Structure 1
Amino acid sequence: MSAMVNSMRLDDIYRSLEADIREVERELTRVIQTDHPLLNESANHLLVAGGKRMRPVFSLLAGKFGRYDLANLKKVAVPLELIHMATLVHDDVIDNAETRRGQPTVKTKWDNRIAMYTGDYILGQALSLAGEVEDPRVHQVVSKAVTEMCLGEIEQIRDFYRWEQTTSRYLRRIKRKTALLIAVSFHTGALVSEVPADLTRRLHLFGYYMGMAFQLTDDVLDFTGDDQSLGKPAASDLRQGNITLPVIYAIHCADGRIRNPVLRYVQGDHSLSAIDGAIEAVRNSGGISYTNQLAQRYLAKGFALLEKMPACHARDLLEQLARFIEQRSY
C-alpha cells in the first residue's frame, strides 16, 4: 500500500509537468549522443534504465515561481540530471556494484575503464550545456556543487569501514553527496527564471532540507527494502563498508549484543555469517527509527519554509514531493 501511495503522489506531480518532462527526456537523449558507437551505447545505458528525474522536476518547479521558460530551464535541468548520472556511473566503479535500477551497471556490462570515461563524458556534456546559460551565477553555483560533490565522494571513500566516525561527519558527507545537488536544482531553476532573491534563497534551503531527508530515508531503505524494490542488494552500503547513520547508531548508541556483531564486520570479518549478523543487529538497534526521526526533522523545516512561499500550484506540488520523500518505500 505504501509503495502505491508513493507512486500515486509522483504520478500526480509528474502529470502536471508531463509535456515538459518529456522534452527534458528528449534533451537528455540528444545531449549524450555521440558518433562513437561504444561510448554512445554506454552513455545511454543508464539513461534507458530510467529514474525519478527528481532534479529536473525540482528545477522546473522552481521556475514556476518566476518567468517560466522551458528553453532556459532545460539548460540547467538537463545538466543537473546528467551530473547526477555521471556520479552514479563513477559510484558503481568505486562500490564494485553489479546492478543499478535493476539493470547491470556500466562497469558490469563493459569494464571499469569504460565506466570511468563514460562518466567523464556525461559530466563534460553536462557542463557544456550549462555553459550556454548567460547568467554567470549559474556557472558558479554548478561548478561549486561539482567540487563539493567530489569532496563528499573522497570523504566517503576515506571513511569506508571507519566505525568511529561521528554523526556530524556523516551529515556533512551526505550534504555534499546528495543534498547539495538537489538544493542547486532549485537554485539554478530559480536563477534562470528570475525569481526574487529572497525566494530563491528559500527554494535553495528547501532543496537542502529535502536532499538531507531523501538521503536519510535512502539509508533506512537500504536496510528495510528488498532487492527488487531497491534495484540492488539490500544493505549494499554496509556490505561495501559505507557507514551510514543506522550503522553509526548501532555502534555508538546500543548495547554490546548489538554493537559487537556490527564491529565484527566493519573491523575485518567479511564472512557471510558476519555480514548477516551485522545487518540483523542494525535492524534491531533502534538506528532505523533514529534515522527516520532525523529525516522528519529536516522535512519539518522544509514544510515550514513552504508556508513562507507564495501560495500557488507549484508550492502545492512541492508539498506533495516532500510528502513523497516522507512516505517513500523505494
Structure 2
Amino acid sequence: MEKMKLKSIYSEFRADLDYIERELERAVRSSSPLVEEASLDLLKSGGKRIRPVFTLLSSKFGECNRTDTARVAVPLELIHMASLVHDDVIDDADLRRGTPTAKSQWGNRVAMYVGDFLFGRALATIAELDDPGIHRVLSRTMIEICVGEIIQIEDKFAEEQSLRDYLRRIKRKTALLIASSCELGGLVSGAEPKIVRHLERFGYYIGMAFQITDDLLDFTATEKELGKPAGSDLIDGNITLPVIYALQDTELRPLVQAALAAGDDREPVDRLIRRMRGSEAITESRRVSNLYLDKALREASALPATADRDSLIRIAKFIGKRKY
C-alpha cells in the first residue's frame, strides 16, 4: 500500500526520473567488469530515490533544465550509494533491502573500492557544471558525511549518549545529503535565493524525520518489511533515538544493556523489541520525528503554490509516516 502510494506520486514526473536513472547507469559504467557489475547491482537493488526526486522537484522552482538537473541529482545519489557500501563493510552486513550486499558478494576490499569508485564518479559528474557554488555545496556534503560516519564508529556501543549527540550524528549521516539535494536543485535552476533557503531547510528537516523514522522501524517493522533482521542497528551497536529513551527507562535499560552485550544471541534482542513496541521510548521518538516533519511542512508551505510544491509536501508526509 505504502509503496503503491509513493509510486503514484512519482508517476507525475516519471519521464524526468527515468532520464536520471539512465544517467545513473551511464555514470557507473567502468572498464572493470567487476566494478561495473557491483555498481549496477547496487543501483538496481531498489531504494526510494528520495534524493533525486527532491533534486528534481526543487529544480522546478527556477528555470528547469533536465540535463543540468541530472548532473546534480546523479552525483548526490552516487554519494549516497557509496556511503551505503562503506556502511555495509563497517557493519559486516550481508543483506540490504533483502538482497546480498557488495561486501557479502565480493568481500570487503572490493566493496570498499567500489564505494571509492562511486565517490569518484560523483566528482566527475558534477565537474560537468562550472558553478563554484554547486561544487562548494557538494564538497561540504561529502566531508560532513565522512565525519558523520567516523563519529558513528566512535559512538558504537557507547550507552551514555545525549539527544544532542544523536541529532548531530544523523544530521551528518542523513539530513545534510537530503538538504543538499534540495538546495542544489534550486541552485542549478537559478531559483531565487529566498526559495533556495526554504528548499535547503525543508530538506534538512525532512532528512531528520526520515532518519528518526528509519531508527523507529528497526524496532517496529518486521524482517520482511525491513529486508534485514529487526534490531540490526542495535546489534551493530548503533545507539539510536529509541535506544536513548529506552536507556532512560529503569525497566528497559537492563534489557538494552543485555541486547548490546548479546553478540550472536538473538533472544535478548527479540525480548527488547517485544518490550519496546508500545513503550514511551517509541512514542517519544515518534514525537521528535513529527516535530521535524512539521518544520519541513512549514518550510514547504513558504514556497510558491505550485503542483511541484504539493508533490514535495505529499512525499514529505509519506516518508515521515511510512511503516517500512
TM value normalised by structure 2: 0.97
Contact 1:107-1:114 at 8 Å conserved across structures? yes
Offset at 1:8? Answer: 3.7
- Cα deviation for residue 92 of structure 1 reads 0.3
Match of 2:29 in 1: 33
Q: Do structure 1's residue 49 and structure 2's residue 72 form an aligned pair?
A: no
Cross-structure match for 1:216 = 212
Name the counterpart of 2:90.
94
> Is the aligned partner of 1:276 residue 2:270?
yes
1:72 equivalent among 65, 68, 72: 68
Which position in structure 1 is the counterpart of 2:179? 183
Q: Which amino acid aligns with 1:125?
A: R
Deviation of 1:278 after TM superposition, in Å, equals 3.1
Shift of 1:265: 3.0
Q: Is contact 2:206-2:320 (8 Å) kept?
A: no
> Which residue number in structure 2 is paired with residue 149 of structure 1?
145
Mapped to 2, the partners of 1:120 and 1:95 lie a distance apart of 17
Alignment of 1:105 onto 2:101: yes
Partner of 2:233: 237
Does structure 2 retain, via aligned residues, the 8 Å contact 1:27–1:78? yes
Cα distance in structure 1, aligned partners of 2:301 and 2:133 = 27
Q: Secondary structure at the match of 1:115?
A: helix
Segments of 5+ residues of structure 1 without an aligned counterpart are: none
* Rounded Cα–Cα distance in structure 1 between residues aligned with 2:28 and 2:59: 24
Distance in 2, matches of 1:111 and 1:326, equals 34
Q: CA RMSD in A?
A: 1.2
| Alpha-carbon distance in 2 for matches of 1:9, 1:195 | 29
Distance in 2 (CA, whole Å) between partners of 1:60 and 1:213 is 20
Question: Counterpart in 2 of 1:286?
Answer: 280
Residue 232 (structure 1) shift: 1.2
Distance 1:228 1:277 in 2: 19
Give, in angstroms, the shift of residue 250 of structure 1: 0.4
Pairing of 1:107-186 with structure 2 (within 5 A): 107-186=103-182
Structure 2 counterpart of 1:196, from 188, 192, 203: 192
CA distance in 2, matches of 1:272, 1:26: 41
Is the 1:262–1:281 Cα contact (8 Å) retained in structure 2? no
Q: Normalised by the size of structure 1, how large is the TM-score?
A: 0.95
Is residue 2:24 matched to residue 1:7? no
CA-CA distance at 1:272 after TM superposition? 3.2
Aligned equivalent of 1:82: 78
Displacement, 1:69?
Answer: 0.3
Shift of 1:284: 5.1
Which residue in the other structure is 1:306 paired with? 300
Amino acid at match of 2:143: T
SS at match of 1:232: coil
Q: What does residue 296 of structure 1 align with?
A: 290
Asked whether the 8 Å contact 1:67–1:194 carries over to 2, the reply is yes
CA contact 1:222–1:234 (8 Å) conserved in 2: yes
Counterpart amino acid of residue 293 in structure 1: R
How far residue 51 of structure 1 moved from its aligned partner, in angstroms, is 1.4
Q: What percent identity do the matched residue pairs reach?
A: 49
